[in-house]
């Protein structure tokens, strides 16, 4: 598609179809867009676009609608993404800044993104394995137990109880706490083996059993992947867009109910090199999402992506607006986690 005019025609068809949800004819294009050509030329351009698979005619005598291929070309050639208004940016900053912990941040982010895009919003919780350790707190309990509180740089908090074979000296717990935070804070799972081993070796032989048990809990907790999950909001938006899904919206809803499907999709999108990735229709590997599109961006702290946030809806989507909203919320979310 090297012809700029035909790209303009495709762009106009996509924009009109997204706005009206009605097949677009050549006369409408001439009336609504300054294409500076005759209706006959527009019809010829539409015929070329249809032959190339970028638009389709849903039924005889109707106008044209974009195909997945047409939406893809439209998204790839977006020259600009419409910016959020100053009021929208202030609303995002204020709404997210009031969050009290990671759970609240995630919950607020997913609800906010759903309201901005009028789509289903999904937020992936930060993976423990990809999160750096911020602090370890140790609290001695009765009956030879120690409460281990692990706080990651993304604000995630995990608690584990270590059962010891025998009581430990009163001064061991504060010393172990200090050594763990000096040696392990700021490191990710892949970087912890040597520091944790050095912490164990720093204690007397008779104390190493208890120290090693605590170190193993820290390492094993950060290695866990079973708790990776996503949070959603705005599923009801799909029901209002039911006519955008051939037959029924049920396959999309069923796919959304399977967390593993969304986690796999977000993981696949993390491999895209763009800051905001877009998967359109049949580009989605899960058959239930073949009539849906998803826009996703990574978020994290200190320039490291730890998870993704996105919006999912029908392929008839305001891509420019959705991309802008997803990007903005992801950036504010990253600022909060880095703060």
* CATH hierarchy code of domain 4-76: 1.10.10.10
Beta bridge partners of 314: 292
Would you tell me how many other CB atoms lie within 10 Å of the CB of residue 127?
A: 20
* CATH hierarchy code of domain 86-125+228-338: 3.30.450.40
> Which helix (H) or strand (E) is 215 found in, with range?
helix 208-223
Angle at which helix 102-117 crosses helix 319-338, to 10 degrees, equals 160
Over the Cα atoms of the chain, what is R_g? 26
Would you state the pLDDT for residue 85?
A: 82
At 137-157, the pLDDT tens digits run 999 988 789 999 998 877 778
Taking the C-alpha atoms of residue 50 and residue 25, their distance in angstroms, rounded to an integer, is: 13
Q: Residue 330 has which token pair?
A: 């992801």
Would you state the pLDDT for residue 1?
A: 45
Angle at which helix 86-97 crosses helix 102-117, to 10 degrees, equals 160
Q: What angle do CA 243, 69, 24 make, to 5 degrees?
A: 55
Would you state the pLDDT for residue 129?
A: 66
Answer yes or no: CATH 3.30.390.60 is held by domain 133-223: yes
Taking the C-alpha atoms of residue 43 and residue 57, their distance in angstroms, rounded to an integer, is: 13
Taking the C-alpha atoms of residue 290 and residue 74, their distance in angstroms, rounded to an integer, is: 18
Would you state the pLDDT for residue 137?
A: 92
State the burial class of residue 179 (Cβ atoms within 10 Å of its Cβ: 0-12, 13-18, 19+): buried
Would you state the pLDDT for residue 285?
A: 85
Could you tell me which residues come within 8 angstroms of residue 300 by beta carbon, excluding any fewer than 6 positions away? 126, 130, 154, 306, 307, 334, 337
pLDDT tens per residue, the chain (339 residues)? 448 888 999 999 999 999 998 999 888 888 888 888 888 888 899 999 999 999 998 877 778 999 999 999 999 988 677 778 888 888 888 888 888 777 888 899 999 999 999 999 999 887 666 677 889 999 998 878 999 999 887 777 889 999 998 888 889 999 999 999 999 888 877 788 899 999 999 999 999 999 999 999 998 887 765 456 889 999 988 888 778 887 788 889 888 888 888 888 888 888 887 889 999 999 998 888 999 999 999 988 777 788 899 999 999 999 999 999 999 999 988 888 776
The residues spanned by each domain of the chain are 4-76, 86-125+228-338, 133-223
Taking the C-alpha atoms of residue 279 and residue 285, their distance in angstroms, rounded to an integer, is: 10
Would you state the pLDDT for residue 91?
A: 85
């Amino acid at each position: 598609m090297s012809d700029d005019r035909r790209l303009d025609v495709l762009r106009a068809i996509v924009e009109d179809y997204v706005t009206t949800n009605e097949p677009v004819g050549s006369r409408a294009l001439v009336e609504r867009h300054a294409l500076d050509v005759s209706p006959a030329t527009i019809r010829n351009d539409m015929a070329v676009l249809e032959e190339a698979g970028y638009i389709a005619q849903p039924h005889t005598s109707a106008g044209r609608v974009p195909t997945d291929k047409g939406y893809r070309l439209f998204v790839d050639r977006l020259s600009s993404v419409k910016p959020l208004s100053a009021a929208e940016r202030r609303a995002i900053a204020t709404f997210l800044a009031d969050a009290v912990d990671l759970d609240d941040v995630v919950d607020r982010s997913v609800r906010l993104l759903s309201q901005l895009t009028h789509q289903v919003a999904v937020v992936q919780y930060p993976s423990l394995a990809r999160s750096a350790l911020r602090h370890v707190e140790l609290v001695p309990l009765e009956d030879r137990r120690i409460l281990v509180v692990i706080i990651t740089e993304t604000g995630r908090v995990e608690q584990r109880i270590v059962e010891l074979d025998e009581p430990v000296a009163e001064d061991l717990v504060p010393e172990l706490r200090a050594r763990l935070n000096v040696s392990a804070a700021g490191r990710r799972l892949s970087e912890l083996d040597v520091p944790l081993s050095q912490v164990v070796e720093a204690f007397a032989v008779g104390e190493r059993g208890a120290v090693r048990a605590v170190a193993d809990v820290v390492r094993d907790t950060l290695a866990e992947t079973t708790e990776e999950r996503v949070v959603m909001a705005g599923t009801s938006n799909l029901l209002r867009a039911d006519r955008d899904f051939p037959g029924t919206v049920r396959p999309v809803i069923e796919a959304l109910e399977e967390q593993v499907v969304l986690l796999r999709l977000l993981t696949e999108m993390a491999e895209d090199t763009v800051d905001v990735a877009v998967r359109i229709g049949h580009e989605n590997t899960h058959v239930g999402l073949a009539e849906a599109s998803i826009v996703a961006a990574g978020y994290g702290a200190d320039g490291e992506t730890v998870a993704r946030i996105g919006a999912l809806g029908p392929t008839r989507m305001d891509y420019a607006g959705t991309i802008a909203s997803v990007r903005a919320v992801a950036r504010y979310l990253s600022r909060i986690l880095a703060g």
